[in-house]
Structure 1
Amino acid sequence: MAPLEDSADDPALFAYGGTWQVLGPFQIGTREATWGADPLEYVGGFRNLSYDPKAIFRSSLPTNGTAKWQLLEAAPFSTGSESATASLSVSYSNVDWEFLKVVYGWAAVQYQAWARGELNIGGNETQHIILHTDAILEYWVDDKHYFGGDYYTYRRAPPVLHLEPGTHKIDLRLVRDVRAFGGVLEPTIDVTVHAQQVTGTLELAKLGILVSDVVDGTLASSVASISLRNSGVDDIEIVGIHPSNSTHSLPSTNETSTVIVAGQTRPVAFNATLPNHNVSSVSYDITYRTLNGTPKSTLHVSQNLTHTSIYKPHKVTYLHPGGMVSYAMLRPPAKNATCRTGQSKLPVLLALHGAGLEADSPMVTSALDPVSDLCAWVLFPTGVTPWSGDDWHNWGFADVEAAIAAIPTWINHTGWTGPEIQVSHWIVSGHSNGGQGTWYALAHRPDKIIAAAPVSGYASIQKYVPYELWQPADPRRTAVISGSLNSYRHEMLMANVKGIPIQQQHGEVDDNVPAYNSRFLAQQLYLSGAQSDYNEVPTQNHWWDTVMTTPELVNFYYSQTSNEVALPRKLDDFTLIVGDPGDMGSKGGLKVKLLHDPAQYGKVEVKGHMIRTTNVMSLELDPTIWRETVTINGQDLDLGQANTQSGAPLTISYIGTDRASVTEDHTAMIERSGRQLGFMTAILRTRGPFVIRRSTVSNTSQVALQISRNLHQYFQADTLILPSPDDPRIQNTTGNVITLVIGGGLPDLSSDFPIRVGKMSCFVRDHQGRRQEYGEAARGAAFLRPLHDERLELVIWGADEEGLRQAARVVPMMTGVGHPDFVIFGKSAKWRGIEGALAMGFFDWKWEVTASSVVETGRH
């Protein structure tokens, strides 16, 4: 093995070796790394390989089809008494990237490699450190595996390591992703590992307090949050939070006592107050103790406040449905707002930011300064994170709707006396990823949207960077992955936006999001019977200073904020396409509640009172629009017979069967509904902090921490980790549950559930009722199960610890991965990816496996 050279002449407490051993490159598809697909796993994994400059490995990318080891100097890097940093820039000149891009597009410059280095710990004592892994998804430290990393360099939830003096091996899986690294420049992989000494007890994971701005002497919102990390080895309980120099404890907004397990990061919400109107900062003391311990300790935190006018964009905090605090920037209507006569209730103008931007950035909030007198409530949501969690989809869009819902509370809290708000009347705009989010809003909430202006947005994840160069797989398996992404293919949903005014815009020479995306969607709008005005700006790239206030957009904003349209629109002729009823709103007062096969699109075609459906099981109708008789698939149904005095929506159930009926009883047939719909990503529709419960097997604790880290890193989510499935605290929770189990011991919710796992076995009952048993071939599994009140449980099962880690990879974390309702992993999934799944697919409304699922036979 080649020596790993020291980087400093003088000994330091923390030091990375200067020379790293790199092996690659190997192909990887868009978002495929979650599924494994690492060819080195076929030979036991990189962690079990030793440096050998003569060794060759088969690879589809380099000249001669062979990948080799190389030595790479980390530069720049630093060492010191409290931290150490190493940065790597990996590139390959033996790959003809330009020619590959000619054939495969940007998918060709997504590849993977591995790098090995050393972290040297000096001194005579065990050191407590956090490890930041910028732009890295997966790595090993000595013999411990970490998946999730920090792909977007949030630096929000690094792992806590307790390292003894000596040399520690670090293996980094390097995965190049076009959305993170770009598709135009030299296809290098640039990563950073940063080791930072920590206290070994409770500490601030992020300096300061997430608190609202002060508008005219009043906090815009009272809810606040502190991000805390337990860097010790004992679990810690938060006893209280109170203003400094005060003994009055402020209540946490969490529904259970706040326990932060060793190594965990949690956001802790509480209610903040101002001691006086002119105070420039606030400070609080956090009292805590080790779990069941008696001595108390105190952690101090302070935050400078921003004072501003109520009419300027300012920070407003509120609770996300996931139970943690989020924020948005709000610009109320100006005193000189140019409203039409008699316009007292004003719409919301949503301005969705692009990837990598915080909503409080001046680049975001000042983008609409030239139209400061708009007759609207201008809202700049954050989507929880700079990448909007999941691209303004389930988690991010829930944040948008929570931000809108917080405005009436803001009105009462601040004593606002200006124009009122129409919370269900939106004008949506956004740039880049925010442009894509605008398309998502258009296609999924058409009855709430007055108009929309998507700017420089992409059509869908698959259209942005094609899903080429995945490991080869049976088309049925790729169809499962594709089907689980149906709701995010905006090009398939353009019929939903018919009747909504749309102003598209794109820079002609955009080399970040090609203008093809907007041109393509403009064409799909036309072919779907919808229309848009399309403005392609000559010579402009992805961003320029007035990108959100070109003359075309300014005219659009002013005209649409004065639009007197009544919502929902009453349309005589329209089509509704649904990929996931769980994240789909209504159009024309009609909402799809259930699909026969969730892996296929549902379609509703309306002409007057004639409705024809495809793959639709149940509909919900707004009784203010839908009255008297409708004809569904040739069957006449009298809506007038239903009791509509309550004004509740009407449900038409069992469509496509001989039992179709109209009722106000929404629970008569439903076994899987509402927030439970939508494949594995439905777990993100939690109401309250996630609950991770693990078995008493000690090896599940690290996986529980990993899942908690990933949920906080990528969604800023809060999680309660319970050390036992029988922990009584679970009775007081409302969030969705993630259950970890190795071997047997999974509590049975129903003896008839189609997936069962045991000590060394797993079986699936397919759509024909046949039981397929996989025995020792099944190494891990991930599948949803129903809980009461539309809650969900995501079971992560492993035949052993390695199988558990393999299954835990598919807990939703990044968009575009494709998460079906269930996956059973075979050993070869580590290098074959989805082709190594023994079974994968979907549950229908009765929680039965669908015919569109893959359930492999012949395994024992």
Structure 2
Amino acid sequence: MKKYPIHQSLIILFALISTFTISAQKRQGNIVEYFGKEKVNDVKEGKIAHVFKDALYLTTKRSALNSISFPPDMIFKDFLMSDKTVSEGEIATIDDTGTSHSWTKIEVDETNTFNDPALRGAYLYLSYRSPAAKTVLFEASGHTQAIINGYPHEGDYYDFGYSLIPIQLKKGINVFVLKAGRFSRMRARLIQPKAPIILTTRDMTLPDLLAEESMDYKGAIRVINTSESWAKNFQIKVKHLGKESLSSISSIPPMSTRKVSFDIPPVNKNSEPSRSKLELKLLSNSGSELDSQDVDIQIKSKYGKHKRTFMSQIDNSVQYFSVAPSSTEELKDGALFLSVHGASVEAVNQANAYKQKDWGHVVAPTNRRPFGFAWEDWGRLDALEVLAEGKKIYRPDPQKIYLTGHSMGGHGTWYLGATYPDKFAAIAPCAGYPDLLGYRDSFVKRALKATEAERKRWGITSERLKQMQKKPQLTDMDHMILRAGNPSRTLKLKRNYLQQGVYILHGEKDNVVPTFIAREMREELGKFHPDFTYYEYPEGTHWYGDHSMDWPPIFELFKNRTIKSDSLINKMEFYTASPGVSAKSHFITIYQQQKPFEISSVDFSKENGPAVTTNNVLILGMDLESMKLKSDSITIDNVLLKVPSKNKAFYKKTTEGWQLTSKPSLKEKGPHRNGGFKDAFNNQMVFVYATKGNTMENKWYFNKARLDAETFYYRANGSVELVPDTDFDLKKYADRNVVLYGNKSNNSAWKKLLKDFPVQVENNLVTLDQKVIKGNQWGLYFIAPRPDSDTASVGVVSATGINGMKAIYSNHYLLNGTSYPDLLLFGDDIMEYGSDAVKCAGFFGNDWSIENGDFQWR
């Protein structure tokens, strides 16, 4: 197996960006205090059964393998699906320098926290001897992942104190292995739940109630099911100011938690702004009260800053966004400013940083969490959903839509602006970086030339500097996997900025997102862009007060820019890496690519007659009515073609050149459904897990589905519906994406969804068209079109046997910055060798076939 150096610059740059975490630090201080107490009444969910006060920890040398999507993890691999125990002094690993790494004892401090600089990125081993089998809640903080008695669970790496995992302790020794994140502290304890099914007010999603509006509202709260039975047909009753609402809530699997939505009754119109209380009661299917909680909520004026909630179409969860409405009450045809926040910043604080504008409304989405997805993947979708909500509520002038953001939100501004160039008249990235992954080479180059003092400020040690000097050795397989990440490679789409005005704002002495990043973007835009402004705030650091975002010259530039009407566009360039992410700009749509997930482009001009030059485009669509063409012909790549009398025209590139064609079939790939694998986690997705295998298979696939639901809850404030294969019904879940856990041998939903697909997985066998791969060690991720739907997809998390189940443990597909093509086939040594263990990766053809696809085999 080949080994090669990791991109250390990626890790360093991310660490620099993540250091600006003021609000997170405040939360962490509260959690330390919370864990430092051991009184029974400190825990609303029950009684403290055990606080872990001593443990073993292990530090290991950072892996020398470059595998963003499949980071090697030999330590977790040892504990996965096993009863492994360790003792103090036991050698765990010997690295490539011959240095051994042993388990070392550690004890908590006075706040019941394991706190040591050596814990950053380390492993923590906890054990608990239970006198009997019993159910508890495992509460921990500061860790990215946990393995409990051999099964993986999501961590609490934000250190927010949200983690409450129902577990079944076995009689005797129970083992907990925690992996630390960016913090050098972790805490853990066991809680005896007060009842089998309870509410927890940790991490609620609530709107502000608006005094001038009489409308229903949505909130969300977590229900914890510590029983071994499903919680079905439950309800939440809400009382507020004499009014009641009754909401049926989603089913909750055994031994799991789910954040569920509930209705909040309207307030009387013209109520006085105040702080109020909601009374929440959890009712069983028989109507009996199981638990109750009182929750604070605010009544505010809709003319002041406030937060709103909506139901997301990604997963039917409740999400919130914050608003700084115009200071002009009942403003008509005003502007809308989409402002995306930085790492650790709540959307509420983002909106609060702005003074209310007399000519427009500021709308601040959440990115699904304060860290979320760096405005990529599901953060991108959240921004689009909130933009749509903002337009629906405020009905702005459609030509006066603008985009801005700070720090991670500065990146979001660069990224969203490049991805959706026709949605914004102008963009203003503040203290932002354009492309985290694509920018690493420039960062390495800069770091190698930097002074020792500069490197010290950026946290680059001599060891890291040596690693940065090593060049990666990427194989064809690596390039295939990384290609799936092209939609996030902002700089590959940079010419889309020609459709917008750009204002770059950066502090002169910013050491969090170093100022050279902005200067290099100034240089980059200077090569081709005629309409951008660059300003360095004198002596400005990363944050120098509200002017770090709410900078008047930005809004002056905005005021003088509008989105062009389609009929007035004489020249336009548009670039995309995937029609499934971004297919359209104004009147031109790229429906299909020749080579999937490579950059496709269209260069349109009305000069010398309408003409289009394309690259990597197979099917092109044009809105003729919007274009207002005065010609009955158009030239595409020097081929003269007739323009039909219809409002829309479609052209296809064939071996004989471009030809007029019909609208592409929805059964083929297109903007509506294009892959890669991560795209399955969308469209009101439902997780369907296997129950037709042996005991181990059934338990594993349920746990894997539950783990992904835990992960999506924590990372994305999500709410995913889990369904056993025996309960899955095509009509009940019509037109919704399905993520199927299992294979043809053990998941009965396979025949309903994948019977005729060219990829088939069963015990000890994978068939890819005519190619057969045998063995029980294979794991597989792939996406397919749902056969009974024109829009929905099926994502598959599958294995050929017990060893393959270990391989699919890695759930990094729910992280931004990871690359997953349409299909990945890999062996059970993936936790040891990373992407070197991938046997096949690639993309299906536009007809979803393997034959017409693009695949790399090892």
- The TM-score range, normalised by the shorter chain, is 0.7 to 0.9
Q: What is the SS of the residue equivalent to 1:780?
A: strand
Q: Describe how 1:795-834 pairs up with structure 2 within 5 A.
A: 795-810=796-811, 812-834=813-835
Indicate if the aligned counterparts of 1:525 and 1:531 stay in contact, CA closer than 8 A.
no
Q: Distance in 2 between matches of 1:90 and 1:590?
A: 54
Cα deviations by residue, 1:284-328 (Å, 9 ceiling, x for unpaired)? 4444437xxx57334323332323332211111111112111111
The answer to whether the aligner puts 1:313 opposite 2:311 as a matched pair is no
Q: What is the SS of the residue equivalent to 1:24?
A: coil
Please report the RMSD computed on the Cα atoms of aligned residues, expressed in angstroms: 3.5
The answer to whether the aligner puts 1:153 opposite 2:150 as a matched pair is no
Q: Describe how 1:236-385 pairs up with structure 2 within 5 A.
A: 236-244=231-239, 250-252=246-248, 258-274=250-266, 276=268, 277-278=271-272, 280-289=275-284, 294=286, 296-322=288-314, 323-335=316-328, 344-361=332-349, 364-369=350-355, 372-385=356-369
Partner of 2:635: 631
Q: Distance in 2 between matches of 1:331 and 1:568?
A: 30
Q: Give 1:459's match in structure 2, choosing from 434, 446, 459.
A: 434
Q: Give 2:381's match in structure 1, choosing from 389, 398, 401.
A: 398
User: In the TM superposition, what is the alpha-carbon distance from 1:499 to its structure 2 partner?
Assistant: 3.6
Alpha carbons of 1:213 and 1:482: their partners in 2 closer, same or farther (altered >3 Å)? same
Indicate if the aligned counterparts of 1:743 and 1:798 stay in contact, CA closer than 8 A.
no
Indicate if the aligned counterparts of 1:130 and 1:158 stay in contact, CA closer than 8 A.
yes
User: In the TM superposition, what is the alpha-carbon distance from 1:651 to its structure 2 partner?
Assistant: 4.5
The answer to whether the aligner puts 1:542 opposite 2:542 as a matched pair is yes
Q: Distance in 1 between matches of 2:734 and 2:796?
A: 17
Indicate if the aligned counterparts of 1:464 and 1:513 stay in contact, CA closer than 8 A.
no
TM-score of the aligned structures, taking structure 2 as reference length = 0.81
Partner of 1:71: 104
Indicate if the aligned counterparts of 1:349 and 1:376 stay in contact, CA closer than 8 A.
yes
Alpha carbons of 1:461 and 1:31: their partners in 2 closer, same or farther (altered >3 Å)? farther
Q: Distance in 2 between matches of 1:153 and 1:567?
A: 47
* Amino acid in the other structure paired with 1:239: F
Partner of 1:692: 688
Partner of 1:593: 591
* Amino acid in the other structure paired with 1:131: E
Q: Give 2:576's match in structure 1, choosing from 551, 573, 578.
A: 578
Q: What is the SS of the residue equivalent to 2:232?
A: strand
Cα deviations by residue, 1:547-595 (Å, 9 ceiling, x for unpaired)? 4357xx3122034235455345844334322111111153342222221
Partner of 1:643: 646
Q: Distance in 1 between matches of 2:407 and 2:436?
A: 12
Q: What is the SS of the residue equivalent to 1:556?
A: helix
* Amino acid in the other structure paired with 2:337: L
Indicate if the aligned counterparts of 1:495 and 1:575 stay in contact, CA closer than 8 A.
yes
Q: Distance in 2 between matches of 1:642 and 1:502?
A: 38
Q: What is the SS of the residue equivalent to 2:373?
A: helix
Partner of 1:81: none
Q: Describe how 1:500-539 pairs up with structure 2 within 5 A.
A: 500-529=500-529, 531-539=531-539
User: In the TM superposition, what is the alpha-carbon distance from 1:673 to its structure 2 partner?
Assistant: 2.3
TM-score of the aligned structures, taking structure 1 as reference length = 0.81
Alpha carbons of 1:620 and 1:684: their partners in 2 closer, same or farther (altered >3 Å)? farther
User: In the TM superposition, what is the alpha-carbon distance from 1:10 to its structure 2 partner?
Assistant: 14
Partner of 1:4: none
Q: Describe how 1:596-611 pairs up with structure 2 within 5 A.
A: 596-608=594-606, 609-611=610-612
Q: Describe how 1:745-824 pairs up with structure 2 within 5 A.
A: 745=746, 747-748=750-751, 749=753, 753-765=757-769, 771-776=770-775, 778-787=777-786, 788-810=789-811, 812-824=813-825
Q: Distance in 1 between matches of 2:374 and 2:92?
A: 39
* Amino acid in the other structure paired with 1:684: F
* Amino acid in the other structure paired with 2:334: L
Q: What is the SS of the residue equivalent to 1:397?
A: helix
The answer to whether the aligner puts 1:438 opposite 2:413 as a matched pair is yes
Q: Distance in 2 between matches of 1:56 and 1:669?
A: 53
- Listed as ranges, the gaps of 5+ residues in structure 2 are 1-35, 41-47, 445-466
Q: Describe how 1:84-95 pairs up with structure 2 within 5 A.
A: 85-91=112-118
Q: Distance in 2 between matches of 1:368 and 1:8?
A: 39
Q: Distance in 1 between matches of 2:193 and 2:660?
A: 62
The answer to whether the aligner puts 1:115 opposite 2:110 as a matched pair is no
Alpha carbons of 1:16 and 1:193: their partners in 2 closer, same or farther (altered >3 Å)? closer
Q: Distance in 2 between matches of 1:128 and 1:55?
A: 31
User: In the TM superposition, what is the alpha-carbon distance from 1:483 to its structure 2 partner?
Assistant: 0.5
Q: Distance in 2 between matches of 1:522 and 1:426?
A: 23
The answer to whether the aligner puts 1:203 opposite 2:186 as a matched pair is no
Q: Describe how 1:164-179 pairs up with structure 2 within 5 A.
A: 164=170, 166-174=172-180
Indicate if the aligned counterparts of 1:51 and 1:69 stay in contact, CA closer than 8 A.
no
Alpha carbons of 1:153 and 1:854: their partners in 2 closer, same or farther (altered >3 Å)? farther
* Amino acid in the other structure paired with 1:523: E
- Listed as ranges, the gaps of 5+ residues in structure 1 are 1-6, 79-84, 93-110, 182-187, 338-342, 412-419, 645-649, 766-770
Q: Distance in 2 between matches of 1:127 and 1:751?
A: 40
Indicate if the aligned counterparts of 2:232 and 2:251 stay in contact, CA closer than 8 A.
yes
Q: What is the SS of the residue equivalent to 1:206?
A: strand
Indicate if the aligned counterparts of 1:425 and 1:448 stay in contact, CA closer than 8 A.
no
The answer to whether the aligner puts 1:128 opposite 2:127 as a matched pair is no
Q: Describe how 1:32-71 pairs up with structure 2 within 5 A.
A: 32=68, 35-40=70-75, 48=84, 50-51=86-87, 53=89, 55=91, 57-60=93-96, 64-71=97-104
User: In the TM superposition, what is the alpha-carbon distance from 1:605 to its structure 2 partner?
Assistant: 2.3
Q: Distance in 2 between matches of 1:210 and 1:220?
A: 17
Indicate if the aligned counterparts of 1:404 and 1:423 stay in contact, CA closer than 8 A.
no
Identify the range of structure 1 (608-617 vs 738-747) with the bigger mean alpha-carbon deviation: 738-747
Q: Distance in 2 between matches of 1:853 and 1:14?
A: 51
User: In the TM superposition, what is the alpha-carbon distance from 1:829 to its structure 2 partner?
Assistant: 1.2
Partner of 2:25: none
Q: Distance in 2 between matches of 1:400 and 1:220?
A: 24
Alpha carbons of 1:555 and 1:532: their partners in 2 closer, same or farther (altered >3 Å)? same
Indicate if the aligned counterparts of 1:405 and 1:423 stay in contact, CA closer than 8 A.
no
User: In the TM superposition, what is the alpha-carbon distance from 1:431 to its structure 2 partner?
Assistant: 0.5
Partner of 1:95: none
Q: Give 2:855's match in structure 1, choosing from 848, 853, 856.
A: 853
Identical amino acids, percent of aligned pairs:
17
Q: Distance in 1 between matches of 2:341 and 2:158?
A: 16
Q: Distance in 2 between matches of 1:127 and 1:227?
A: 18
User: In the TM superposition, what is the alpha-carbon distance from 1:816 to its structure 2 partner?
Assistant: 1.0
* Amino acid in the other structure paired with 2:774: G
Cα deviations by residue, 1:727-758 (Å, 9 ceiling, x for unpaired)? 33862454311111157245244665332212
User: In the TM superposition, what is the alpha-carbon distance from 1:798 to its structure 2 partner?
Assistant: 1.5
Q: What is the SS of the residue equivalent to 1:25?
A: coil
Indicate if the aligned counterparts of 2:85 and 2:175 stay in contact, CA closer than 8 A.
no
* Amino acid in the other structure paired with 1:441: L
User: In the TM superposition, what is the alpha-carbon distance from 1:157 to its structure 2 partner?
Assistant: 5.4
Q: Distance in 2 between matches of 1:513 and 1:721?
A: 40
Partner of 2:147: 140
Partner of 1:25: 61
Q: Distance in 1 between matches of 2:471 and 2:766?
A: 25
* Amino acid in the other structure paired with 1:740: Y
Alpha carbons of 1:59 and 1:570: their partners in 2 closer, same or farther (altered >3 Å)? farther
Q: What is the SS of the residue equivalent to 2:687?
A: strand
Q: Distance in 2 between matches of 1:120 and 1:28?
A: 37
